[in-house]
Structure 1
Amino acid sequence: MSDHYEYTIKCTFSSALDPQFLDTLRYLVRTHEYPFDAPSDHPFFEAEALFEGEQYEAWRTILQIDPDQGYGYFSRFFRQRDNAQWFTPSGPPYILSFQIAIHDDAEGGVWRLLQWLAPISDSQGFVGYSIRQGHGLSEHPTLWYFENQQLVSR
C-alpha cells in the first residue's frame, strides 16, 4: 500500500472573474467528458511527457472522482442562488469545494492547482488542509492559506 494525501479545500470566486477561469473551474469538476483546451500557460496546465512521445495532462483528472476508489470523495463548483436562505448579497457568488485523495507521487499536481487558484480566488486566509495517510501517517495536518494571492502552508 502506498501513501496518499487527503485534501479538503474550499475557496470562493467573484462574479467578476474572467469567464475563461469560470469555464475552467466548471471543467475541472465536470460530470461528463467534453472537449476543452488548456486555458493558461500556468504550470498546473502543463502536459507531462510519457514514453514514446505520449503526453499526459494530469490537470484534466485531478478533481475527477475515480469510481474504482471506495473513498466517497467529492469535488464541485457552484454558484450560490439568490433565493437560497444562506445567501447574503455580500457573500461570494461562486464556490469551489473539494475533498480528494491523491497518491504521494502525484501530490505536486495539487500544489500547482492551489498555486493557480490563489491569485484568482477571493478567499484570503485559511482555505483547507491536507493530511498524509498510509505508512507515513501524519500526526498533524498541513494547513493551507491564500495570502496576498500566494499559496502558504503551515
Structure 2
Amino acid sequence: MSIYYEFALECYLIQNIDREVINILTYMTRSEEYEFEKPKIDYSLFQEGSDYKKIVEIEGNEFTVIQSEWRTILTNYPREGEQYLPGKFGSAFNNNNELSFRKLLRDDEFDNIWWLLLPWLASISETQGFVGYYRSDLDDFPNLIYFFEHEFHIYNVIPKHHIQDWISDKPKNLICLRECALSQVVKQELLRQANTRKISLEEYIMSVVTQNWISESELSIT
C-alpha cells in the first residue's frame, strides 16, 4: 500500500529572472500537454541523459532521484486522492512571477524528485520565510519549508507539551510561529490542522513550536 505525500508552496521569483526559468515553470505548471525541450540550465534537476539518476542522502537514508520526473511533479492536473481532502489543489505560475501549488503524490514519485526541486526553487525565490509544507498521510503534523538567502530548510512542527516532557535533553533551534510570518498556503494547512483538533488557528499556533530538521547544506547528492 502506497504512502501519499501532500505538499504545497508559494513564492515570488527574484527580479529579472532568466526567460528560460519562466518558460520552465510555465511548462511545469501546465494544464495541457505540449512539446518542451530539455532545459539548458546546468542543474541536476534537469538532467535527462543516460545518467538520469542521483542518490540523495538525508540523515543516513538514501533516496534515488529520477530526474526526468521534473516534467510531471507540478502539472495542473487532478491527482487520485485529492478529491477526498479538504481545500483546493492545483498549480499555477502567473505573470507576476508568482509560483503556487498544492499537490498529492505517491511516496515513490515524491521522493524521486522533491529533494532536487526544493533547492532549485529556493535558489530562484525572492520570498523568504515559511513558504510551504509537506507531510505524508502517516504524519500527525506537517513539515514546514523555510527559504532563507536562497537556500531551503525543513522545520518539524512539535507540540509544546512534548518539549516540556524533555526535561533532561532540551532540543535546540526551536522557533515559535507567528501568523504574520506564514505564507497563505501554510496558514491554510495549519488551519486545517486546527479544525481537526477543534481549536482556532491562533490556539494551534500557540500550542506548537518548530525545530530545524534539515538544512540544504546537510544534503548529500551524488
TM-score by length of 1: 0.77
Matched, 1:122 2:122: no
Tell me what 1:84 maps to: none
Matched, 1:18 2:34: no
Tell me what 1:98 maps to: 101
**Matched positions, count:** 133
Q: Bigger relative contact order, structure 1 or 2, given CA contacts below 8 A and separation 6+? A: 1
Of all paired residues, the percent bearing the same amino acid is 36
Deviations 1:53-74 (A, max 9, x none): xx97211111124556241520
Tell me what 1:74 maps to: 90
For the 8 Å contact 2:132–2:144, the answer to whether it is kept is yes
What's the Cα RMSD here? 2.0
Could you say which structure has the higher helix fraction? 2
Offset of residue 111 of structure 1: 2.4
Runs of 4 or more, structure 1, over 6 Å off, are none
1-structure distance, mates of 2:81, 2:107: 18
Structure 2: gaps of 5 or more residues = 54-65, 84-88, 156-222
Offset of residue 143 of structure 1: 0.4
Matched, 1:59 2:75: no
Q: Which has the larger radius of gyration?
A: 2
TM-score by length of 2: 0.55
